[in-house]
């Protein structure tokens, strides 16, 4: 029974990819050789696409809603504005002159593919580069909103892409610094958070940053992360994976609140 279910899933996925390939051809005039899912999140799936003329693209699909469409268009707009200052995705307009289109119940955007990996084994060198990026973003009078290890790509120790500006906004810079510090710390095993926090604040090097507000936002991020993991329990294929993530999020929150 398990093998039959797996076979049906694989067949269904292949059929879905065929429909997606047809939509890409219709909307962009691009004939794809194959598609491959490279990352999955609660809200967005990233798919690598290779065209028949050996060009590489990245598709991002998300469940469509009016709010999600606003967020996606914000991401594209901010990415375009910041490209002169840092490496951001280059989104492609479709044949209708738009950066997005509806595919079934999804909203899809297409960009040129950037080769790199998310730094899920963080170190202080990469963290320092992320803090420098925040300083640059803040010079444009905006926040990134979600500069975590999942939203940068590295190649040979250097950040080669800054992504996902869907949560960008105006507001206190302490929020960005706290979010980057907390989620980077989650991938820095055996490193005390105090050491990460001190590094981030010293690297940013702005005496107007309020450390109390920074730590307040760190706790908020830890709380929201745990709540998000709990909320998305049913999205996990394996319950043991959810239990692992939930246990880790609880432990991190406990450690943060003892500082």
57 shares its domain with 133 = no
Domain ranges, residue 142? 124-257
Contact 189, 212 (CB under 8 A): no
128 shares its domain with 250 = yes
Average pLDDT (97-124) is 95
84 shares its domain with 159 = no
102 shares its domain with 33 = yes
- Predicted TM-score of the model (pTM): 0.90
Residue 2 has pLDDT above 60, yes or no: no
Q: What is the CATH number of the domain that holds 35?
A: 3.30.200.20
Q: What is the pLDDT of residues 147-162, one digit of tens each?
A: 999 999 999 999 999 9
Residue 201 lies in a domain: yes
Please, what is the end-to-end C-alpha distance for the chain in angstroms?
Answer: 51
The token duo for 209 is 């940053």
250 shares its domain with 128 = yes
219 shares its domain with 181 = yes
Q: Where among 69, 92, 112 does a domain terminate? A: 112
136 shares its domain with 235 = yes
Q: What is the pLDDT of residues 25-41, one digit of tens each?
A: 999 999 999 999 888 77
Count of C-beta atoms within a 10 Å radius of residue 111: 20
Contact 237, 198 (CB under 8 A): no
């Amino acid at each position: 029974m398990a093998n039959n279910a797996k076979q049906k899933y694989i067949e269904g996925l292949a059929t879905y990819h065929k429909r997606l390939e047809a939509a890409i051809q219709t909307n962009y005039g691009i004939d794809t050789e194959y598609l491959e899912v490279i990352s999955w999140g609660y809200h967005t799936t990233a798919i690598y696409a290779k065209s028949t003329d050996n060009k590489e693209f990245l598709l991002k699909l998300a469940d469509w809603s009016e709010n999600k469409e606003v967020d996606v268009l914000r991401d594209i707009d901010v990415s375009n504005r910041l490209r002169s200052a840092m490496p951001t995705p280059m989104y492609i307009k479709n044949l209708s002159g738009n950066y997005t289109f509806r595919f079934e119940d999804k909203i899809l955007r297409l960009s040129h593919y950037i080769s790199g990996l998310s730094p899920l084994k963080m170190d202080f060198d990469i963290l320092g580069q992320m803090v420098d990026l925040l300083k640059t973003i803040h010079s444009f009078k905006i926040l990134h909103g979600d500069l975590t290890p999942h939203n940068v790509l590295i190649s040979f120790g250097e950040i080669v892409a800054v992504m996902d500006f869907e949560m960008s906004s105006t507001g206190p810079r302490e929020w960005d610094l706290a979010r980057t510090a907390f989620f980077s710390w989650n991938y820095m095993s055996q490193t005390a958070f105090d050491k990460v926090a001190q590094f981030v604040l010293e690297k940013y090097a702005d005496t107007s940053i309020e450390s109390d507000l920074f730590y307040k936002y760190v706790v908020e991020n830890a709380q929201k992360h745990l709540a998000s993991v709990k909320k998305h329990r049913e999205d996990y294929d394996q319950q043991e994976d959810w239990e692992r993530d939930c246990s880790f999020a609880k432990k991190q929150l406990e450690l943060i609140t003892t500082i």
